[in-house]
Amino acid sequence: MFTVAVLGAGVVGLTTALKILEAGYNVVVIAQLFPGDARDIRYTSNFAGANHSSMAGDDKRQFKLDMDTFDVVWKMSEPGSPTEHLFMRTPIIHYYHDPVTKPDPLADTMPEYRKLYSEELRVGATSGTYFMSVTFDVWRYLPWLYSQVLVRGGRAVRAQVQHINQVLEGAFCEKPDALAVCAGIGARTLGGVEDENVFPIRGQTILIRAPWIKQCMGGKAQPGISTYVIPRPSGDVILGGTWFHDDWYPKPKEDIHEMILEGAIKLVPELAPAEVRGSGRTPTVEDIRPLIIEAGCGLRPGRKGGLRLEKDTVEVPNCKGKQVPIVYNYGHGGQGYQSSWGSAMEAVMLLKEGFEV
Ligand SMILES: Cc1cc2nc3c(=O)[nH]c(=O)nc-3n(C[C@H](O)[C@H](O)[C@H](O)COP(=O)(O)OP(=O)(O)OC[C@H]3O[C@@H](n4cnc5c(N)ncnc54)[C@H](O)[C@@H]3O)c2cc1C
Q: Is 342 in the pocket of ligand 1 (CB under 6 A)?
A: no
Q: What is the pLDDT of residue 35?
A: 98
- Mean pLDDT of all residues in 243-258: 96
**Would the annotation count 133 as a binding residue?**
no
Q: Which of 14, 44, 137, 179 has most ligand 1 atoms within 8 Å of CB, for mutation?
A: 44
Query: Looking at ligand 1, which atom is closest to the CA of residue 31?
Result: 44
Mode of pairing for the β-strands spanning 236-240 and 292-303? unpaired
| Interval between CA 337 and ligand 1 midpoint (Å) | 9
Q: What is the pLDDT of residue 101?
A: 84
**Burial grade of 79 (CB within 10 A; 0-12, 13-18, 19 or more):** exposed
106-156 per-position pLDDT tens digit: 999 999 999 999 999 999 999 999 999 999 999 999 999 999 999 999 999
Q: What is the pLDDT of residue 100?
A: 84
Query: Looking at ligand 1, which atom is closest to the CA of residue 329?
Result: 26
Q: What is the pLDDT of residue 263?
A: 96
| Interval between CA 297 and ligand 1 midpoint (Å) | 12
**Would the annotation count 29 as a binding residue?**
no
Q: Is 183 in the pocket of ligand 1 (CB under 6 A)?
A: yes
- pLDDT, averaged across the chain: 96
Q: What is the pLDDT of residue 163?
A: 98
Is pLDDT at 224 greater than 90 in this prediction?
no
Domain boundaries, the chain: 3-356
Q: What is the pLDDT of residue 11?
A: 98
Q: Is 308 in the pocket of ligand 1 (CB under 6 A)?
A: no
> Between 3.40.50.720, 3.30.9.10, 3.40.50.880, 3.40.80.10, what CATH number should domain 3-356 receive?
3.30.9.10
Q: Which of 14, 15, 32 has most ligand 1 atoms within 8 Å of CB, for mutation?
A: 32
CB 156 within 8 A of CB 150: yes
49-104 per-position pLDDT tens digit: 999 999 999 999 999 999 999 999 999 999 999 999 999 999 999 999 988 888 89
Q: What is the pLDDT of residue 233?
A: 95
Q: Is 9 in the pocket of ligand 1 (CB under 6 A)?
A: yes
- Say how far apart CA 52 and CA 213 lie, in whole Å: 17
- Mean pLDDT of all residues in 24-32: 98
Q: Is 218 in the pocket of ligand 1 (CB under 6 A)?
A: no
Q: Is 45 in the pocket of ligand 1 (CB under 6 A)?
A: yes
Q: Which of 5-9, 55-59, 301-305, 321-325 has the lowest mean pLDDT?
A: 55-59
**Would the annotation count 228 as a binding residue?**
yes
More confident residue, 263 or 241: 263
Q: What is the pLDDT of residue 77?
A: 98
Q: What is the pLDDT of residue 225?
A: 86
Q: What is the pLDDT of residue 262?
A: 96
**Cα R_g (the chain), whole angstroms:** 21
**Would the annotation count 45 as a binding residue?**
yes
Q: What is the pLDDT of residue 1?
A: 87
Is pLDDT at 357 greater than 90 in this prediction?
no
- Say how far apart CA 172 and CA 176 lie, in whole Å: 10
| Interval between CA 59 and ligand 1 midpoint (Å) | 21
